[in-house]
Amino acid sequence: MLTLMAIIQASSPPPAPDEIGQRRLMMMLVLVESAVPSAQILMVCLQQLEMSEIAERLSYFYIYHYLIALVTITLVVSAAISLLYY
């Protein structure tokens, strides 16, 4: 996570004073998006391709994935706020 922030900061020129707020918001969005669980579009595609057996097995993964995401999203958002705004 810190490596991602370092790459973002190093790859762009120093911001003007009025752009600092926008840069913080952009970095916040990147950090939060890195923590959200994946979309279920794969499940929809598998159902459309009549691969419901594979979709059923994969659905158990999504249940645990979303349960774990409750904790990880909370931690990442808290860390991002404390790194960027305090």
Print the domain residue range for 67: 2-8+24-85
> What gap in Å lies between CA 36 and CA 3, rounded to an integer?
18
Per the domain annotation, does 80 fall within a domain? yes
* Range of weakest confidence among 17-26, 37-46, 59-68: 17-26
Domain count, the chain: 1
pTM exceeds 0.75: no
Domain membership flag for residue 16: no
Residue 80 reports pLDDT greater than 70: yes
Would residue 43 count as lying in a domain?
yes
